[in-house]
Structure 1
Amino acid sequence: MFVAKDWQDYELIDAGGGERLERWGHVVLRRPDPQIIWPLENENELWRSVAGHYHRSSSGGGQWEYKTKLPDRWTIGYRDLKFYIRPTNFKHTGLFPEQAANWSWMMDKIRGAGRPIRVLNLFAYTGGATVAAAAAGAEVCHVDAAKGMVLWAKENLELSGLAERPVRFITDDVFKFVQREQRRGNKYDGIIMDPPSYGRGTGGEVWKLEESLYPFIQLCTTILSDNPLFFLINSYTTGISPTVLGNIARISLADKYGGRITSGEIGLPITSKDMVLPAGILCRWEEA
């Protein structure tokens, strides 16, 4: 398992009863998590006195209950990177802290390449990987279909003092964007993707991970440079195993470029227990 161990401003304090107890900077929040199927051993005062508690609705969705007035947003840092945090109406906060394990890996790859690196970040959300790649010296293209998420990513880049880095922010359907890049002959040394289980593009196109992921990865290989550095696939889709991603990467990437494939779970340490919370899966292809 790949564990994001190096946070100072984020902490998974405890987990049980289907919920996480998390510290985001100075703010402690309580959120549901379907992976936490063990009981909560001790609902102590820290659990009860959180600043915000997200309650799921039996009809789907849910809402935040705030016990303390929070700022509209606040900042947390990971090493030299900084991010805005804001609770959203779909339980997220704008950042997936477990991805820090990937940021560190990616930054090491970029810094160690010894050459200019162009990175494409697809389904790029609020830009954690974009900020990390830019900080490591890469030229980055950030693509997401949600205008609000793209704006948030741009603000994260500026917050980290990287506004002058060569980063393009694109609001578009990722499939259409990659097709256009293919026609233009644009190439990338690294590709990152964090595809959803299900979604609709800007023109109503339907994305189903089980049906769409393999052909999309195949399309993305057409815009890799002749000497690619890495290809990173993240997934939070229940039922998809790391081995499945590894098999796709072998067919799509290793058979053509050689290199090394690593796949597995990604997780967060629970500080009150000698345990790790699984928080998704990943597959990394990298040059040998």
Structure 2
Amino acid sequence: MEKKFTDLFKEVGGRLRSPLIYSFIIAWLVTNWRIVIGLMFYKSQQLQLDGYTSFLDMIDKNRTFIKFWGLPIVVSLVYTFAFPIIRNVISAYNAWNFRWGSTWALAVAKEGGVSFSKYIELKTRLQQSIEEVENIHKSESQITNENEKLRNDTEVLKRRIENEVQSLRVSEDIKAALVNELSILKEKSEIKTFNGAWKMKFKNGLGQVKTERITISNGDVSYSNAEAKYESLFKLKTCVYNPNTNEYVVVFERVKDPNASGFSEIFRPQDETMTFLKNFEEKGIILELEKIII
């Protein structure tokens, strides 16, 4: 229901905004001003003082066909249909008057200190100068934008180069660390690392644990016999150091019996100086190696 009333009021408002109806209402209010004032501001006593018995009597005595209908209709028709034509005529007259006045002023200017042709020439030059200034401004703006873009690109490239240099430095540091680690690994994996005199605890063929003083020289493992002669026991064939487990994997070859298979032992250093090596599994042939410091 509320929506219907809203639509009705919108429709009525649209009709009242029509030039014909709007001008009719205004004309009617003006031509019948006595009725309007009486209805809006008079009271019954005031009406009686003016000789009216009631509001209807006032309306009836002030109502004529010309004032009530004729004149408002004529005014609304003139306003709706004739006034736009009159307004266009006035606009056309103003345009003609302006053009005539401008032509007259320029014609008078021909006889002045500056001729009209000179004025036109100067005006044309001024317009060209303005266009040149605008073009220069546009070019400068474009150059400024390009410089700004170039500056930004330079900053991006600079940061990229700095990052690459930093990455290269890190790579060089990593490379140096790897080279150093590889050098240490290679040094510890060399057979000559075991060169020197050692006290060896081992198991003989009968399973007895014995200790002998041995000498290792470039892989040759020997000991002094009863005749004070060095007798080769084993040949140290391969030595590999594992830095992750801190262990030595050593492969030995039997010298007295070349047909016998070799054997391997896993030793774990018991200190940083690698002077005491102990068999990782605590079994095998060689149980311990303790370097003799002379």
- Normalising by structure 1, what TM-score? 0.17
Larger helix percent: 2
Larger relative contact order, structure 1 or 2 (CA cutoff 8 Å, min sep 6): 1
Larger strand percent: 1
Q: Based on CA coordinates, which of the two structures has the bigger radius of gyration?
A: 2
